[in-house]
Amino acid sequence: MKLKTIIITLFALTALTGQAQVVWENPSAFMGDYNSEFEINKVELKPTETVLHVLANYSPGSWIRFAKESFVQTPDGTKYAFTGGAKTNEQESDLMPDSLFWMPESGKANLALHFKPVPLDTKELDFSEGDFDGAFCFWNICDSKTKKKVEIPADWKDVKYAKDETLPVAKINKGIATIKVKMLGYKPGMNLDFFVGTFIPLGSRERFDKTFRFADDGTVKIEVPLRLTREVTVGVRGLAFGNIVIAPGQETEILMKVCTDNKPFLAFKGYMAKTNMDLVNAKKVNGQSSESRQARLDGRDVTDEDKVNEAVDLVGNDDKVFLKVKECKTKEERLQCLQDIFDQRVATIRKSEYTTAAQDLLCMVAESNYVKWTHQFEYKYSNYYVDEDGRVVMSQVDLFEKMKKNKDLLPLSEEEQEYSWKYLNEPTSPCSQEFWDAPLSMYDKKALEKNPYNNELTCVHSVLREDNEGLTNTLLEVMKYEDCKNVIYEYRAEQKRIADELASQQSVYFQKFDDVAPENILQTILDRYKGKAVLIDIWATWCGPCRAGHQAMKPLKEELKGQNVQFVYLTSPSSPLKTWQEMLKDIDGDHYYLTKEQYQYVLDKYESEGIPTYAIYDTKGNLTFKNIGFPGNDVIRKELEAASK
């Protein structure tokens, strides 16, 4: 019996050994914002532990850290603790939990992350560095061979698209464009944000660039105030971005998926659904090779669709244009080369099965790119060079010197400067993003005659951005279209409403010091705080580092509350008034909205070439500290304590 027991035990051990390890080679995983920084090469599921083999890509000399609270989690919610970072082969490096790991000169490091063992039949894992908002995570780690297919909701199956769609003629129509998004595969805790932006709505000075957090069920609803049908950029960091067309009073529905193939857009419904599907399919994903090249790498034939996507990929691909014109020897060759690229792009786009609307928008991009290259050649060309490995690199180092060197490569005569727009000055052109930056009348003397309505739209857009009352009044006298005039009148009414509200707010000074000479404004403000230490913060609503500094200083300001210290914030008309009004609610202190001239004088006084700029004055009004960029709370605390004595 003893011998029989031993034999049975050996058979059991042999059977266990036979499936003692499950390996996922090159597993699929959603890295979110870290797609380019990390890659999971292999996952080992063992009876004794689970190991994630990770390749880290970071700048040489920078550091990364994996918290000891990290864990992997199975779909049933069970968490398996991080046990260490010991290397498993000579190609890997040791990593200590909670310790800084410094990247080698290569900028690449192979690491092994060890965890307590998950069940060997596990099909999917999530990794997280801890249970807190914003934790670093890898989602949906699974064997690529057994990856679950996305299940399409019943109401999204067999979506029917229109055979064709055309862009509407531009007409002001104030309303709300609604975007509804459903993200398949979304999990609570992913904390993904849906982006809508890269445009300035007509009637506003402020660029619309906003993110909207997905709910736990993977849905989000966005409302965008508009006056015109507009092409906008949408997407999710870590997945992909694309352009779509939205319109006031219209609804757009988007079905997306959490994925690793940079193709998260599955389907569209509602306004311009087929056009929007075409546009996101045409959008190039940075870092991927062209469709035709990828087809050849895959060993398959190049299809017509591949060729179309490659042509679309080339629409805004300046490095490929650079390589082509670099081979040209004369001005005539360069000009013809650029013309050939433009003609080829347009011809290929027109052969596609995209809607007329999508084709028109893509042709507008191609035309904008062509005009920039022909009319700003020395600038465009000077931004690029070929490195030692034969790669095209964009760099603005010594840009002006390069432009001087290249200024005679494509000089255009006065006659050659003239250009008649083929796509960007049509009645439907204002739908395009490219339209709003196109210099319509600069090169085309007949642009105004051809489409006066487009001209008035761009004029309204320009004068509101300049915020010049005299120029605006002059424009109003010559404008012909009442709906365009009304945009300006409505903007002014809104500005007056905000100004009236600001006038009643304490610690807010809007237009109250406009008549003070620029050279006197700083002293005028400081005189109000005699006997106090003063910190002056020069900022703008659009300045990310400025806003980060405000958040960082909150604990310090709370610590210094009640002491002999005054926080003073200075901004200028470059900060849209409505945005400034909203932001200052969260910034404790006195706020001054200076004129352009006053603001520039203060910057010059501090010899500042950037913001945020900080200055500290002592109780006698002497400047004791100045810094461009946030110096940190410890430095500010030390300087304020010294200044307040």
Task: Note whether 514 and 631 are same-domain residues.
Answer: yes
Residues 113 and 222 in one domain: no
193-199/230-236 β-pairing: antiparallel
- Which residues are bridge partners to 36 per DSSP? none
In 3D, which of 461, 464, 457 has the Cα closest to residue 573? 464
Give a yes or no: residue 492 inside a domain.
Answer: no
Distance CA 449, CA 457 (A): 14
What is the pLDDT at residue 34?
74
* pTM score of the predicted model: 0.82
Residue 194 lies in a domain: yes
Residue with tokens 């890997």: 92
Can you give the CATH number for the domain in which 600 is found? 3.40.30.10
pLDDT at 299: 39
Rounded Cα distance between 348 and 304, Å, is 9
- How far apart (Å, rounded) are the C-alpha atoms in residues 309 and 242? 14
- Say if residue 351 is in the same domain as residue 399: yes
Tell me which residue has tokens 């006066």.
Answer: 452
Q: For residue 237, tell me if it sits in a domain.
A: yes
- pLDDT value for 467: 72
> For residue 214, what is the DSSP state?
P
Tokens 């200590």 belong to residue: 96
Let me know: does 33 contact 237? Beta carbons within 8 Å: yes
Give the end of a domain, one of 417, 434, 457.
417
CATH number of the domain residue 209 falls in: 2.60.40.1120
CA-nearest of 327, 302, 237, 242 to 277 is 242
Looking only at the bridges linking them, the beta strands covering 508-510 and 590-593 are parallel
User: Which parts of 504-576 fold into alpha helices (H)?
Assistant: 518-527, 544-559
CB-based burial, 294-321: b 16+ in 10 Å, e otherwise:
ebeeeeeeeeeebbbbbbbbbbbbbeeb
Ramachandran region, residue 612 (left: φ > 0; alpha: ψ -120 to 50; beta: rest): beta
Structure tokens at 324: 């082509």
Q: What is the DSSP letter of 473?
A: H
Establish if 558 belongs to a structural domain: yes
To which H or E segment does residue 243 belong? Answer: strand 240-246
Residues in the chain predicted with pLDDT less than 70, given as ranges, are: 1-19, 283-316
**Adjacent-strand bridge partners of 448:** none
Indicate whether 127 belongs to any domain: yes
Determine the 3-state secondary structure of 289 from DSSP.
coil
Please check whether residue 101 is in contact with residue 109, taking contact to mean a CB–CB distance below 8 angstroms.
yes
Q: Is residue 299 part of a domain?
A: yes
Structure tokens at 442: 């600069």
Shared domain for 137 and 184, answered yes or no, is: no
Q: Give the integer Cα–Cα distance in Å for 408 and 385.
A: 17
Decide: 262 and 240 in contact? Cβ < 8 Å.
yes
| Alpha-carbon gap, residue 36 to 341, rounded angstroms | 31
- DSSP per position, 311-365: HHHHHT-HHHHHHHHHT--SHHHHHHHHHHHHHHHHHHHHTSSS-HHHHHHHHHH
Report the distance separating Cα 161 and Cα 127, nearest Å. 39
Nearest to 163 by CA among 255, 243, 275: 275
**Furthest CA-CA distance within the chain:** 110
Query: Based on the domain organization, do 515 and 621 belong to the same domain?
Result: yes
Instruction: Fill in the amino acid letter for 331.
Output: K
pLDDT of residue 144: 82
Same domain, 100 and 159: no
Q: What strands, in cross-sheet order, belong to the sheet with 533-538?
A: 508-510, 590-593, 565-571, 533-538, 613-617, 623-628
Query: Are both 169 and 222 inside the same structural domain?
Result: yes
Decide if 462 is inside a domain.
no
Picking from 124, 146, 168, the residue at the C-terminal end of a domain is 146
322 and 208 in a single domain? The answer is no
- CATH of residue 129's domain is 2.60.40
Q: Which tokens go with 312? A: 């679309």
Q: Which domain holds residue 263?
A: 154-281
Let me know whether 123 and 162 are in one domain: no
How far apart (Å, rounded) are the C-alpha atoms in residues 91 and 345?
Answer: 46
CA distance 592 to 119: 62
Token pair, residue 451, equals: 């489409």
| Inside any domain, residue 235 | yes
As a whole number, the mean pLDDT across the chain is 88
Together in a domain, 223 and 273: yes
8-state DSSP, 480? -
Q: Mark whether 184 and 131 lie in a shared domain.
A: no
Query: Are 158 and 119 members of one domain?
Result: no
DSSP state of 620: T
> What is the number of structural domains in the chain?
4
Which three-class secondary structure string do you get for 296-307? HHCCCCCCHHHH
Q: How far is CA 4 from the centre of its chain?
A: 69
From first CA to last CA, the distance across the chain in angstroms is 92
Tokens matching residue 138: 């890898």
The predicted structure's pLDDT at residue 503 = 85
Final residue of a structural domain among 93, 123, 146 = 146
617: helix, strand or coil: strand
d(CA 492, CA 184): 44
